[in-house]
Amino acid sequence: MGGNLTEGMDTDRIREVAGQLQTQAGKIGEVQQNGTSQQGTLAENWLGSDSEAFGQAWQQAAKALQQASDAITAYSKAALDQATQQDEASKGR
């Protein structure tokens, strides 16, 4: 298939996009991990209620980042599953 679809799916392109989504999910995971590490460094070098509030806020942000990464991973997997199903259906024609 190509860029002129009228119906169906360009499974190669879908797999490419799914791979790109998975890469982005990994990058979000890296941000979450790096931020958590940096928050630990801040906590060691910044004492008081402001530091505690900052740490709590980061925990919420880290949770949101993890949820975003998980959601993007799920979308990537769903796209791959759809591409596989499309290829299998096309073989049966």
Among 40, 44, 34, 43, which residue's Cα sits nearest to residue 65? 34
pLDDT at 37: 97
What is the pLDDT at residue 93?
63
Integer angstrom CA distances of residue 65 from 4, 14, 88, 91: 36, 24, 35, 39
Which residues does 29 contact at the CB level (< 8 Å), separation at least 6?
65, 66, 69
67/42 Cα distance (integer angstroms): 24
| 11 vs 81: CA distance, rounded Å | 10
Which pLDDT tens digit goes with each residue over 22-33? 999 999 999 999
What is the pTM assigned to this prediction?
Answer: 0.84
Cα–Cα distance, 84 to 75 (Å, whole number): 14
Q: What is the pLDDT of residue 91?
A: 85
Please state which of the ranges 58-62, 64-68, 77-81, 89-93 shows the lowest mean pLDDT: 89-93
Q: How far is CA 82 from the centre of its chain?
A: 18
Structure confidence at residue 58 as a pLDDT band (50, 70, 90): very high
